[in-house]
Structure 1
């Protein structure tokens, strides 16, 4: 089996940005988008890492994503705002939303910023982590095109809408809960299909909604926890798409062909601990909570006790030293994209 190619994070970020700029993004937007991809790759989230570059180049080339968006900010209250993304790539729109949420929360104690009409949000954990890096609690929801089953419905009904929560600490890596409402990701189904390996029970279904473990027949994931996951997805549609005046669900299931046009919406919330009794005490108590969890006795079959985000933070630290591994197929795609656009390949490590 071909070995993965190792590339330093900084070099991979510059390389991805150069490709995206050749794809039509401004230098600033290309750098922002590349940063989101490399952040995910550093933490081992390969599905949203550097492998996304060829897909985004395709979105830009087909006009699905707008290479020169005009982001506009709408607000009628100090603690709330909506960014109309004008079909900007998700990393561009949601990074702007995270920055706006932090600014408003510092003066209001809490702030929410919705994002309307973006294209593929990328790793939502990045944006709430950006809020946590500023010392605030970050919460995020995303709604997209229906591609997941809903309990009691045949075929795709709701989206694999993710949620993420990031909580800063003083002596620990921030807690980062980043999860989809699906049992498994669509990418996992594709990987199983390519490898010919069976899927877990209750994780995926055929086109008519029949559960299957055969990756060749599976076309959609099933919701996490059955009705719980599908209910969460529907709730996120209301908290994002409907809230910002850009419904997806109803239009998708109507007869209007425009309802099938790819788009996503999001909502980011920033909470300043200083408004709830003080930052120092909050950070200390967060550390105490995480430390108490770590001290609990591990189950006999457990490799250890971890809080959300701890292991991915450790992976990031390791990859910052050793380099980020790029899978052979992804490296081939990046190499072809670079040759086509006249972008030099980054230095690799042996």
Structure 2
């Protein structure tokens, strides 16, 4: 069962929970804001739902609440950092802002980070780059949690990948895992007692299924595009681990921690007007998006939307009506905010 909670109430409660977990007030406020915004935008799987799990990982020592990015190398428009297992959100915000700054100086900025932790909602950083007026590309290389096509065991990460276009009439932002559904989304449907809209993986008997709980048991999530998704995921891993000079997904597997602990991430910001003027490029983007959105819908109850266009609509609704959150998750967050850190993660 889900309920609706006001933005400020949710944000302040998460902030208290994160302070109890060991984050200082500034970091707790930043992370709480990101978690709350993610849930407000309809991505509760990587918003409020992740708070109990994050607290658990801090307790285990998998996340260093005081860890900060440390510059390891710099060459022209590119920088490489060691994340020192700091909170994934604060590390990723830092890298995003550095990529934007480098793009201001060079036209393109590339920032990589190794030894960091889960960044939660990947789209947060793509949106941030787009809102700065830059094209954004970012991704993360995780431990193995998805089968390579043709395998029946997890053998590659689902490696979320994001791209963003700074269209002034509404940013276009792609935020996707390499699986049909991320594990966090499976948890959302399981908690709600719902089936997935489309098959999302295989059960333990090898049958394609829309039952999120059965997919969680088998750990056989379905790669997006079948062999294409798992191939894309592998290449993202190879590139990220090289550019960040950090651990590949296979090396993360060997450490047996999970949830992106010690992973690599890549952040790229690009000036969209390197070779064209702003007015003509914005006009080109508007025309392309308008043509896509005006395509005849297969279901007249729904309109065709380009990626990211529904996000601001969902945020507006959440701000007016409260943020949707699973009641059991809300109880857990309030308990942590009251000082009880012995919460069992159910997300």
Same fold (TM over 0.5): yes
> Is contact 1:83-1:115 (8 Å) kept?
yes
Residue 138 of structure 1, CA deviation = 0.8
> Is contact 1:241-1:247 (8 Å) kept?
yes
> Is contact 1:33-1:92 (8 Å) kept?
yes
Equivalence for 1:319: 318
Residue 194 of structure 1, CA deviation = 5.7
Q: Counterparts of 1:279 and 1:320 in 2: how far apart (Å)?
A: 32
- Residue 162 (structure 1) aligned with residue 160 (structure 2): yes
Q: Counterparts of 2:339 and 2:88 in 1: how far apart (Å)?
A: 25
> Is contact 1:121-1:264 (8 Å) kept?
no
Equivalence for 1:283: 282
Counterpart secondary structure, 2:147: coil
Deviations 1:159-180 (Å, cap 9, x if unpaired)?
Answer: 111111111112x221111111
Aligned with residue 177 of structure 1, among 170, 174, 179: 174
Pairing of 1:41-190 with structure 2 (within 5 A): 41-170=39-168, 172-190=169-187
* Aligned Cα root-mean-square deviation (Å): 2.4
Q: Counterparts of 2:218 and 2:195 in 1: how far apart (Å)?
A: 10
> Is contact 2:154-2:219 (8 Å) kept?
no
> Is contact 1:117-1:246 (8 Å) kept?
yes
Counterpart secondary structure, 1:329: helix
> Is contact 2:72-2:81 (8 Å) kept?
yes
Q: Counterparts of 2:188 and 2:30 in 1: how far apart (Å)?
A: 28
> Is contact 2:146-2:219 (8 Å) kept?
no
Residue 48 of structure 1, CA deviation = 0.7
Q: Counterparts of 1:112 and 1:99 in 2: how far apart (Å)?
A: 11
Q: Counterparts of 1:148 and 1:128 in 2: how far apart (Å)?
A: 24
Deviations 1:98-133 (Å, cap 9, x if unpaired)?
Answer: 000000001111111111111111111000100111
> Is contact 1:186-1:220 (8 Å) kept?
no
Equivalence for 1:210: 206
Counterpart secondary structure, 2:66: coil
Aligned with residue 12 of structure 1, among 10, 15, 27: 10
Q: Counterparts of 2:208 and 2:193 in 1: how far apart (Å)?
A: 14
Equivalence for 1:233: 233
Distance 1:41 1:60, change over 3 A: same
Q: Counterparts of 2:152 and 2:102 in 1: how far apart (Å)?
A: 43
> Is contact 2:152-2:220 (8 Å) kept?
no
Residue 136 of structure 1, CA deviation = 0.7
Q: How many aligned residue pairs are there? A: 335
Residue 25 of structure 1, CA deviation = 1.2
Q: Counterparts of 2:199 and 2:334 in 1: how far apart (Å)?
A: 38
Counterpart secondary structure, 1:177: strand
> Is contact 2:153-2:219 (8 Å) kept?
no
